[in-house]
Amino acid sequence: MKYFTKEWYQTCQKTSFHLSLEEDKQAETFSEEYFHQLYDQKLKEWLSFMEQMPPELIEESMSEAEILSQQVFYATDHEEVENFHNIFMDNQERIQKTLPEAILKIIADIRVFVLDKASSEVIAAVTQYCEDNMRSVKRAIEQYQKHLKNVSNSFQRNILEKHNFHDCKVTGIKRTEDSLLILLDSGGFTEIKEVLFEIYKIIKQDSLLENSWWLYDEIYDVDGRYEWHVLLQDENLELADFIISAENITFSH
């Protein structure tokens, strides 16, 4: 991958921390009492939301990868309380690993931040951080779009226009001596169910393709052959690169 790299994807995950933050002066200083009040309030809101929202409607708005990674279950209040706490702890760990040390140092209580409350100073710093990351993300997208315009004359039009496999799941692989067939569960993002690579060569493969989610891809014309770079998320939720070269690529519904 030249544009939609693993590092680029990780940057994508660092563009929205500021969106749910609400300013609160109580977040300026550490207070155990304030944290517990806020936690209880957010827990009540969570239980009320889960009570009103049918599970199937929630899952419709989430990819399978998101459902698995967040471990969202729908059961009794006791289990929902535990689920809320697990998500809270997971988010806390993720934020501590993701935000730069300079921002973490000005957060009075990371637990309060995870519950979407922060001081004006923290909100300003996090907003700047996220907006800088978003500019970096958009820059890569614009550069790849420019690349496509420069090379599109040498590509079959259907290769460029028909594929949109973001969040599709790879359900199976079929190989012959001269071809590789990737089977997809589209999840509604595309009507294409199969991608066939003919006279192919695998250039790079970080992990097994089956049961991985197709995140982003890049396509190149190299010496008259198609070269497809794919960023995947495997069943362990690890990012993986897959690069394949082929004389021909066809799609089937």
- pLDDT single digits (tens) 166-215: 889 999 999 999 999 999 997 767 888 999 999 999 999 999 999 999 99
Pick the most confident of 12-16, 152-156, 183-187.
12-16
pLDDT of res. 57: 56
For residue 52, give both structure tokens: 């009103």
What is the C-alpha to C-alpha distance for residues 232 and 58, in angstroms, rounded to an integer? 24
pLDDT of res. 120: 98
The predicted model scores a pTM of 0.81
pLDDT of res. 53: 66
Question: What is the average pLDDT score of the chain?
Answer: 88
What is the C-alpha to C-alpha distance for residues 196 and 61, in angstroms, rounded to an integer? 30
Residue 63 has pLDDT above 80, yes or no: no
What is the C-alpha to C-alpha distance for residues 77 and 51, in angstroms, rounded to an integer? 9
Which carries the bigger pLDDT value, residue 236 or residue 89? 89
pLDDT of res. 70: 47
pLDDT per position as a tens digit, 106-123:
999 999 999 999 999 999
Burial class (CB in 10 A: 0-12, 13-18, 19+), 220: middle
What is the C-alpha to C-alpha distance for residues 185 and 196, in angstroms, rounded to an integer? 15
pLDDT per position as a tens digit, 68-105:
444 444 445 678 899 999 999 999 999 999 999 999 99
pLDDT per position as a tens digit, 155-165:
666 666 667 88
Residue 58 has pLDDT above 60, yes or no: no
pLDDT of res. 74: 46
Percent of the chain with pLDDT over 70: 85
